[in-house]
Amino acid sequence: MSSVLDRIEAVEPKTRALLYVHDRGELLDEASAIDAARSSGDPLGPIAGVPVVIKDNIATKGIPTTAASRILSRFAPPYDATAVERLRAAGGVIVGKANMDEFAMGSSNENSAFVAARNPWDLARVPGGSSGGSAAAVAAGEAVLSLGSDTGGSVRQPSGFCGVVGVKPTYGRVSRYGLIAFASSLDQIGPVSRDVEGAAALLGAVAGEDPRDSTTGVEPVPDYLSELEGGCSGFTLGVPEEYFSEGLSPDVESAVRGAIDVLAAAGANVRSISLPHAEHGISAYYVVADAEASSNLARYDGIKYDQRACGHRDLFDTYCATRSEGFGREVKRRIMLGTYALSAGYRDEWYLKAQKVRALIAADFARAFDEVDAVVGPTSPTRAFEVGARIDDPIQMYLADVYTTHANLAGIAAISVPCDPGDGGLPVGFQIMVDKFQESAMFRIARAYERAAGLGRGVPEL
């Protein structure tokens, strides 16, 4: 705990990965109590004493939870999210709240209303988003583990950019109770860690059925750690033709194909597959996600929550002024797009059609998993891009998620693990996707790659 707090003090002015850091004295007292319990032989949780940061859209009792938005700038929830309750019960110690794109809407962390986080491997580049602070904090040594949220790649894409491990669990594997909603049918809380073992331990601690979230699955949570070291021999990996086409950076393709070769040499069977509707994924995702965001964010009207514009004559003017002042540009853009997609005369043309495409993408994966155990490919089409390079070009920004949205649309599990750092030391993410509730197989394959590749990364000097 001391080393993490010292590291935060040293590098946080550069990374801006955290929006809130808890009191140092209280954290050291909590760590000391866990040391004393360990010395006494008391039973401890699986992550007892591990310093963890929580993405700032996950409710933490009495601790600011702003979703990196001005409209919630002073909000401190009166309760913990289920994932936070379970993390505390497992012994994890919450160091602070991680920076993010406002309401999880973005792929670079530049949409934070407070400050843009930076990539610890190159401070001129973005850490990715929307869980950019979660990934940057772990990569920079400001935390050992982190919880983020993944709606269309928001854990995996920044993990790929920052050279850490990020997991999007099966939809329903982790309770969404206490997660500030962006797109309710897509959102999922997931772990970030420096290695596969840490991610497996954290997911095991927070996963499971929750009566407060009716979308959680009833499937028992396996002991992911006990099954981690089984290797990948006998697994069949599918490589989608559609993931290696126009738009993929040649150096990223080379790194990812190299990772696939490593798994093949470790005993996995590799075969080419097709996901014929993959090209429509990014379009379907942004219609569905923005439509749900339009509905979910209607609650922030200046009456129920934190910020309220003052001096207005009636309720309507108060609503308009509060939302105009409180929401940033990207959030406003997505609310407008989503409202349009749901409006009279356009709902069938846009929202209903996007849901039909979503069903086709899910069917593509279902067919693939009849033949293969996992689908593998790049996490992102490029390495981390420079700060400011895409902030005024939303189409290029959205394309950073071109390979990650499919897992959310289909509701399956996926992990990003770092592969060949290559050019300039900037990481590349290698994505492994598996069928629903098959996280044990996903972790085994990812761990087998991690072991065979031997690509452990140090902490950046900053």
Q: Which two three-digit tokens encode residue 462?
A: 């900053």
Measured CA to CA, the distance from residue 133 to residue 116 in angstroms comes to 9
One-letter amino acid of 335: I
Please indicate whether residue 55 is annotated as part of the active site: yes
Count the residues in the chain: 462
User: What 3-state class would DSSP assign to 294?
Assistant: helix
Annotate 129-141 with b (16+ C-beta within 10 A) or e (fewer). Answer: bbbbbbbbbbbbb
| DSSP H helix total and E strand total for the chain | 14, 11
Q: Reading across the β-sheet that carries 93-98, which strands appear in turn?
A: 18-21, 93-98, 51-55, 145-149, 189-193, 165-168, 413-419, 428-434, 374-378, 236-240, 269-273
User: 55, 97, 168, 436: which one is catalytic?
Assistant: 55
Are the C-beta atoms of 442 and 434 separated by less than 8 Å? Answer: yes
Q: For residue 169, what is the enclosing H or E element?
A: none
CA dist., res. 5 & res. 16, Å (int): 14
Known catalytic membership, residue 343: no
- Provide the token pair at 178: 């206490």
C-alpha to C-alpha distance for 195 and 446, rounded to whole angstroms: 9
Quote the Cα angle for 293-202-148, to 5°: 25
In the 8-state DSSP scheme, what is residue 349?
A: I
DSSP 243-285: GSSTTS-HHHHHHHHHHHHHHHHTT-EEEEE--TTGGGHHHHH
Per the CB < 8 A criterion, the answer to whether 281 and 402 are in contact is: yes
Catalytic-labelled residue, pool 131, 149, 154, 159: 154
**Pairwise CA distance, residues 413 & 436, whole Å:** 6
Active site residue 130: yes
Taking the C-alpha atoms of residue 460 and residue 426, their distance in angstroms, rounded to an integer, is: 11
Catalytic residue among 107, 130, 149, 193: 130
Token pair 């401890």: residue? 44
Q: Give the strand pairing for 269-273 and 145-149.
A: unpaired
Task: List, by residue number, the catalytic residues.
Answer: 55, 130, 154
